[in-house]
Structure 1
Amino acid sequence: MSTGFLSVDLDALATNWRALDAMTDVETCAVVKADGYGLGAGKVGRALAKAGVKRFFVAVAEEGAELRQALGPNVEICVFAGHMRGDTDMIGDMMLTPMVNTVGQLTRHLEALPEHPFGVQLDTGMNRLGLEIGEWASVAEIALAQNCRLVMSHLACAGDPDHPMNRQQLDQFHLMTDGISVPRSLAATGGILLGPEYHFDLTRPGVGLYGGMPFADAQPVAYLDLPVIQVRDVEEGETVGYANAWTAKRPSKIATLSGGYADGLLRALSGGANLYHGGQAVPLVGRVSMDLITADVTDLPELPGVLSILGSDQTVDALAARAGTIGYEILTSLGPRYARRYAGG
């Protein structure tokens, strides 16, 4: 095949969930937004449900509808975007639980689906989604008297354990929610690692399930292998790729591989990343283009048919660091042209 192979280890995914679950004494849910962080929400969701997940989180109602079709009726699916205009039928028909973010969303939900479950998202300082303290004070009594399933907020700096914002948001969450009887949630992956006072009644890990930081002990879940289309001899002084970005300093063997920025291999990786062959690093040379990258395989003992760019030798965060970004972007950028293979689960 001329496309790359994206292999997903569903057993490692489940192991990561169990490890995060074991860190708390509360319910551990799972975030599977953005098509399961790029790895396939249906397959990922089924593996996590088998491992014991009863409640899932997605970004928008459309993702929730697709996940419901994959998982069936026996799990709860919460929607971070809340109850948006035009989503009422989908929320009702697909049994989704919107996390309402504004007074207007709460009004819409209670008027359109008065008996239907919902949750409330509060802003504790991130200034992105959720009701602010004054808004919450004005509607809390009404909301909590309805079929409210969860009150939640989201930490802005949980990846940095020493950041003062963590304590600031924790204190604000207590101020806004202490004394209510509805379950509460503040922690995603980073919040779990901050310790028990951040755990409340349920946690909702995301990137840690998929092998990403800040969960340093996570097992790799995604493995990406790229096929070599052609190997050529390049003489000293010859250049490779767009803009003559790399010049050979010795006679070299250059492999051209199927994969480029259209497949989520960010252009910022140009000239600064490695690929791997049997554990041996191979430098990516020249520019990442839309469909192709080139690697210097001169020092390999044999000409490769495939090189790995993601896996045990190079994690999503290690690759992200070379591109000046984060593991989330690497995972969610993985393109649709890869042949996806799933193991375990």
Structure 2
Amino acid sequence: MGIISPTERLLACADPSEPVETGLLTVDLSALVANWRKLASLAGAAECGAVVKADGYGLGLAAVLRALAGAGCRSFFVANLVEGETARALAPDATIYVLDGVAPGCAPRLAAARLRPAIGSIAELEEWAAAGATLGRKLEAAIHFDTGMNRLGFAPEDADAIALRAQAIMPTLVMSHFVSAQLLDSPINDRQIEGFLAVRAHFPGIPASLANSSGVFLPQRPHFDLVRPGYGLYGGNPTPGAENPMRPVARLCARMISVRDLAAGETVGYDGIWTAPGASRVATIGVGYADGLPVSTTGAQGKPAGEAIVGGVRCPFVGRVSMDYVVLDVTDAPKEAARRGEWVELLGETIEVEELAVRAGTIGYEVLTRLGRRFARRYVEP
């Protein structure tokens, strides 16, 4: 028998279930599916689609799309052509809408992938119609109207003329986008619904869509024929100010790679912006802003900081969030939990995405979509 080296002994004793990465993102696909089913039930007779742009809101397009399609979702929305082509390869039979519309020169590839652009300008409409003429058939598309966002879409007052010109293609959806659906009493909601109803009248027999995640919960029930939730699917709260009706989908943990004791007056991190007020114990975890953790969760005296759950105790970030590391004040955490190699929770059931976003001075959408690729990723199947 040969001599076993220290490295070989270490590898032999390592738990194969433990990731070598110092960050672990767990995506609960069963919670994702439950959220979709809840939104579908609230939408009544309307079809419930899913917005899966930005790599499934940062959680992984392939896994997200597979789970939702398996649950019965048939209509998906992506941002651009490349996302659409990726989604098409994953879901050959799905209906896939591209919210960017027809980017210049992209019509042939959109058509080849059987994607449906959300057309919101005459130039796009003409390019799409020309591509169809070349192929000898009318191409399918959504017709996008701007009812208040002032971002993309035709003007509602042009609906009659657009309906006429759209005869050169095959409209399969008429759509618009809410500005403030998360605010139940915002007067613009009623104005947008009224404007969209007027637009829809010019497209008889064509399905209509207005509601995002928050729109599903509006008392006016503007569900029309298709709702297209995004943020709520991934555990974000579509009803700010009220209890979150959605289940958390993402859980982010990080591993402690160093623990040390500080004396009163010692500082932590770049520029020494946090000073230990007394004898303290701190732990360094192996994630940072390169992994998408907002640098604005930096811990300094007089400002809200990010937090992690260590042995059931909330432990604040101290010092600057750096590229690869965050330091926690674990003075009050159980000693058995605050040890090198132990895991802490940064996002999950205790610290939901909205709380992390508030502490970072941003929104939950940004938190989710910036989750880094260095994390080990595990998916809990539905």
Same fold (TM over 0.5): yes
1:231 partnered with 2:268? no
- Shift of the alpha carbon at 1:133? 2.3
Where 2:261 maps in the other structure, the secondary structure is strand
Quote the Cα distance in structure 2 between the aligned partners of 1:162 and 1:198. 14
1:176 partnered with 2:216? no
1:86 partnered with 2:102? no
Quote the Cα distance in structure 2 between the aligned partners of 1:221 and 1:7. 8
Quote the Cα distance in structure 2 between the aligned partners of 1:198 and 1:333. 31
Deviations 1:191-215 (A, max 9, x none): 1000454111110000000000225
Where 2:217 maps in the other structure, the secondary structure is helix
Matches within 5 A, 1:137-176: 137-144=160-167, 146-176=169-199
Contact 1:103 1:135 (8 Å CA) reproduced:
no
Segments of structure 1 that go 5 or more residues without pairing to the other structure are none
Q: Which residue, out of 43, 55, 60, partners 1:35? A: 55
Quote the Cα distance in structure 1 between the aligned partners of 2:39 and 2:253. 28
Aligned to 1:11: 30
- Shift of the alpha carbon at 1:145? 6.5
- Shift of the alpha carbon at 1:316? 0.5
1:329 partnered with 2:366? yes
Where 1:299 maps in the other structure, the secondary structure is coil
Deviations 1:287-313 (A, max 9, x none): 111111000111122224111100001
Aligned to 1:313: 350
Amino acid at match of 1:140: A
The range that moved more, 273-282 or 223-232, is 273-282
Where 1:113 maps in the other structure, the secondary structure is helix
Aligned to 1:294: 327
Segments of structure 2 that go 5 or more residues without pairing to the other structure are 1-19, 300-304
Quote the Cα distance in structure 2 between the aligned partners of 1:113 and 1:55. 22
Aligned to 1:270: 298
Contact 1:2 1:229 (8 Å CA) reproduced:
no
The number of residue pairs the alignment matches comes to 344
Amino acid at match of 2:367: I
Quote the Cα distance in structure 2 between the aligned partners of 1:338 and 1:241. 23
Quote the Cα distance in structure 1 between the aligned partners of 2:108 and 2:222. 35
Deviations 1:7-57 (A, max 9, x none): 000000000000010102210000000000000011100000011100000
Q: Which residue, out of 138, 146, 150, partners 1:127? A: 150
- The TM-score, its normalising length taken from structure 1, stands at 0.97
Where 1:43 maps in the other structure, the secondary structure is helix
Contact 2:102 2:124 (8 Å CA) reproduced:
yes
Q: Which residue, out of 265, 270, 273, partners 1:242? A: 270
Quote the Cα distance in structure 1 between the aligned partners of 2:221 and 2:129. 32
Deviations 1:37-79 (A, max 9, x none): 00001110000001110000001111010111122x2111100
- Shift of the alpha carbon at 1:164? 0.6
Quote the Cα distance in structure 2 between the aligned partners of 1:279 and 1:116. 56
Quote the Cα distance in structure 2 between the aligned partners of 1:57 and 1:82. 11
Q: Which residue, out of 88, 92, 108, partners 1:68? A: 88
**Structure 1 segments (4+ residues) deviating >3 Å:** none
Where 1:78 maps in the other structure, the secondary structure is strand
Aligned to 1:221: 249
Contact 2:21 2:375 (8 Å CA) reproduced:
no
1:255 partnered with 2:274? no
